[in-house]
Amino acid sequence: EAGVTQFPSHSVIEKGQTVTLRCDPISGHDNLYWYRRVMGKEIKFLLHFVKESKQDESGMPNNRFLAERTGGTYSTLKVQPAELEDSGVYFCASSWLSGGYNEQFFGPGTRLTVL
Amino acid sequence: RKEVEQDPGPFNVPEGATVAFNCTYSNSASQSFFWYRQDCRKEPKLLMSVYSSGNEDGRFTAQLNRASQYISLLIRDSKLSDSATYLCVVKRAGNQFYFGTGTSLTVIP
């Protein structure tokens, strides 16, 4: 079974440009999460989808970040315009159920560098 | 105050040694607890969940102390392949994970 996949693996852009990250969850997983790790800090939650609906977006840093999950399958995270402090590794995770001890499976991450 | 605090290490131990990692969490409403392992430049992967009664999986033992808001991971008979960063992860009633910064372990031949 394929795991969570993310594209691209790396992205280097200039400040002010737009970048779109994509995540394909494990097939059948209704729950999809975005996380971010800024260098030297812990991994932090950004938002959670249940199918196509945003369940919790309390971790989104500001309105330059827009996440979508059309049709409840893959998800995109767009940063527009990118700022230097947006650099980091963006992880996507998915899970079948969302409560209790349900494991979240992580993708390999997209390493974003904003110059 | 951070949600989850871990000693970042690094821990450098010889093969065969026993090593213990500790973690504290700040929110008493936390409900689920995990240890994830992350290899260099890879994604986090679940090592084990941590249950109230404590649990063991081979060489790995996890303990939870809700009163002290403290989680531990014990690795016995360390292998070279255990070298990684160990992430303490806590979940509250919602579904977002709160991560510690991780504890780095290097097992030396």
pLDDT digits (tens, 9 = 90+) for B66-108: 999 999 999 999 999 999 999 999 998 777 889 999 999 999 9
- Ramachandran area for residue B29 (φ above 0: left; ψ -120 to 50: alpha; else beta): alpha
How confident is the model at residue B58, as a pLDDT?
96
Cα gap B60→A23, rounded to integer Å = 32
Cα gap A41→A39, rounded to integer Å = 6
Confidence of residue A1 (pLDDT cuts 50, 70, 90): low
Would the CB atoms of A43 and B95 count as touching at under 8 Å?
no
Cα gap A30→B39, rounded to integer Å = 27
Q: How many Cβ pairs within 8 Å bridge chains A and B?
A: 56
How confident is the model at residue A15, as a pLDDT?
97
Cα gap B98→B23, rounded to integer Å = 12
How many residues would you count in chain B?
109
| Minimum Cα–Cα distance from B51: chain A residue | A101
- Tell me whether B72 touches chain A (CB under 8 Å): no
Residue B51 CA, chain-centre distance (Å), reads: 13
> Model confidence over B63-74: pLDDT tens digits?
999 999 999 999
Q: How many helices (H) and strands (E) does chain A have?
A: 0, 11
Question: Of A17-31, A93-107, B52-66, B73-87, which gets the smallest average pLDDT?
Answer: A93-107
- Tell me whether B26 touches chain A (CB under 8 Å): no
Confidence of residue A66 (pLDDT cuts 50, 70, 90): very high
How confident is the model at residue A36, as a pLDDT?
97
How confident is the model at residue A46, as a pLDDT?
96
User: b/e per residue, B23-54, with b = 16+ CB within 10 A?
Assistant: bbbeeeebebbbbbbbeeeebbebbbbbeeee
Q: Cα distance from B15 to chain A (closest Cα, Å)? A: 28
Q: How many helices (H) and strands (E) does chain B have?
A: 0, 11
Place of tokens 């904003």: A114
Residue A72 has pLDDT above 90, yes or no: no
Mean pLDDT score of chain B: 94
How confident is the model at residue A2, as a pLDDT?
83
Residue A98 has pLDDT above 90, yes or no: no
